[in-house]
Amino acid sequence: MQQPCLKVNEIFYSIQGEGPHTGMPAVFVRLAGCSMGCEFCDTRYAFAQGEDMTVAQILAAMSQYPCHNVVITGGEPTEQDFASLASALKKQAWNVHMETNGAQDADVSDIDFLVVSPKKYVNQEMLKKAHAIKIVVGQQTDLEDLKKYFQYANDRTTVCLQPESNLQENIDLCVNLIKQNPFLRLSLQTHKMANIK
């Protein structure tokens, strides 16, 4: 029986540059494809480019690295059969993180840490499942509208504000909001500051 394939944009070993696990070494599996198509997306190259790989081929490619943390990202991983990959990773004792825009509800039972980064629209069920909600904030952001995500902040779920493109004006926006709402956290893209992939 032929194994199903996932379209993989890239697999690489690096350091988590943003969110609550900033600084954590991890293998990144970037799946190709995303129907959201946000203008500010910094991984637009993953929208279409990718190579068909079976789960076994993905695991083999990951096995060369001295680490058992993995981040499944995109593109948008929920637009493919990420669950088969996550299940196989759990069986091999990987610590499985996933980053998604949360547009569609998905079974994340094999995901140890789920980051939902809402964009044009988001599924409420995914927000409830998230361990972190990461909101990109720029000059065009409706600051009143983004407050609807604040209700999800609790002992389990961290709500992070991430300044678009690390621009100082966007950092200032985030800092002001966080000072007014001290349950929020700042998420800078430290991998860009450190010039690492």
pLDDT at 2 over 70: no
pLDDT at 40: 79
Average pLDDT over the chain, rounded to whole? 95
Q: At what angle do helices 55-62 and 82-91 cross, to 10 degrees?
A: 50
Contact criterion met (CB below 8 Å) for 183 and 146: no
Mean pLDDT for the stretch of residues 79-103:
97
Residue 56 maps to which CATH number? 3.20.20.70
pLDDT at 59 over 90: yes
Q: How many structural domains are present in the chain?
A: 1
74: tokens are: 């995109």
pLDDT at 184: 98
pLDDT at 1: 59
Residue numbers of the domain that contains 50: 5-193
Distance CA 79, CA 189 (A): 25
pLDDT at 45 over 90: no
149-183 per-position pLDDT tens digit: 999 999 999 999 999 999 999 999 999 999 999 99
